[in-house]
Amino acid sequence: MVNIRRDFTAVHKRNGARQVVGIVLHDTAGAGTMNDVRFLASDNDRGVSVDFCVTRDGQIFQLSPDLGNTTMFHAGRSTRFRGLVNASVNRGTIGIEIVQRADLSLSPIYPAAQVRAVAELCAHLCNAFNLTRGDITTHARIITDGSRSDPRQFPFSKFDEIFIDAMNGEGSGPVTHTVVAGDTLFSLARRFETTIEEIKRLNGINEASNLITVGQGLIVKL
Ligand SMILES: [Zn+2]
């Protein structure tokens, strides 16, 4: 289950029941620190806010007091999504700001803990609001005047891996993987956050061997 913090509630918001039809991902292009979260929660003169912020250490902050009954201001200018335009995009979507420095100078650009938290939060929201992967979009994709490109360089392949696992309900059974070209025990251990020794043990692979073959089905985690 995702751990959602409620330390801050945004000032800029509009009350009223809403129907959530999607999720919009952003990056903050700010300091890349907790100050970005504080800014989005504050009475800032840009009038912006967001439903969630995910910090670089993987903490999730919900700035909306009530997701089903409050609209936050994250994508209301020059946007179009699912027949919604401008302000109504805000009403129909949950915004997630991924905390990021404006010049992308932090390394890695998106730490693993942050990508995981975004993916698990998205899975949690998809379950809660009956959405699917196709309902998750980005500010860059819904902007109509070309003025936004965020979330910049976000690793969507890694996001998808974690999102799919989370939607399938991790812990409900073993995690399996079919070996494709380029996979090694080392790369799989890293990707699934386990060890080479554990994968070998689960699959009865000889201690002295590191051989896996394309098409082979592996249990990578219990
Ligand atoms: Zn944005």
Rounded Cα distance, 84 and 77, in Å? 12
Dump pLDDT digits (tens) for 153-184.
Answer: 999 999 999 999 999 875 456 778 888 889 99
Comparison of pLDDT for 142 and 168, the residue scoring more: 142
**Please, which pLDDT band fits residue 71 given cuts at 50, 70 and 90?**
very high
The pLDDT of residue 194 is above 70:
yes
Centre of ligand 1 from the C-alpha of residue 215, in Å: 40
User: Which residue, 18, 121, 133, is CA-closest to 65?
Assistant: 18
User: Which residue, 189, 182, 175, is CA-closest to 214?
Assistant: 182
pLDDT at position 172 is: 55
Q: Compute the average pLDDT of residues 11-35.
A: 97
**Please, which pLDDT band fits residue 25 given cuts at 50, 70 and 90?**
very high
- Residues 41, 8 contacting (CB under 8 angstroms): yes
Q: Compute the average pLDDT of residues 87-92.
A: 96
The pLDDT of residue 67 is above 60:
yes
Q: Compute the average pLDDT of residues 58-65.
A: 97
What type of residue is 112? Answer: A
Instruction: Give the contacts of 8 (CB within 8 A, at least 6 positions apart).
Output: 37, 38, 41, 61, 63
Rounded Cα distance, 93 and 174, in Å? 33
- Residues 185, 206 contacting (CB under 8 angstroms): no
Rounded Cα distance, 15 and 33, in Å? 28
**Assign residue 193 a region: left if phi > 0, alpha if psi is -120 to 50, beta otherwise?**
left
Centre of ligand 1 from the C-alpha of residue 26, in Å: 4
pLDDT at position 193 is: 84
Centre of ligand 1 from the C-alpha of residue 202, in Å: 43
pLDDT at position 174 is: 73
Centre of ligand 1 from the C-alpha of residue 27, in Å: 6
Token pair for residue 95?
């915004």
Centre of ligand 1 from the C-alpha of residue 95, in Å: 9
Q: Compute the average pLDDT of residues 70-94.
A: 96
What does the mean pLDDT of the chain come to? 94
Rounded Cα distance, 96 and 75, in Å? 10
Centre of ligand 1 from the C-alpha of residue 96, in Å: 9
Centre of ligand 1 from the C-alpha of residue 174, in Å: 37
Centre of ligand 1 from the C-alpha of residue 97, in Å: 7
The pLDDT of residue 151 is above 60:
yes
Residue found by looking up tokens 């939060």 in the block: 121
pLDDT at position 219 is: 87
In percent, how much of the chain has pLDDT > 70? Answer: 98
Comparison of pLDDT for 30 and 216, the residue scoring more: 30
pLDDT at position 206 is: 87
Residue found by looking up tokens 């009350």 in the block: 15
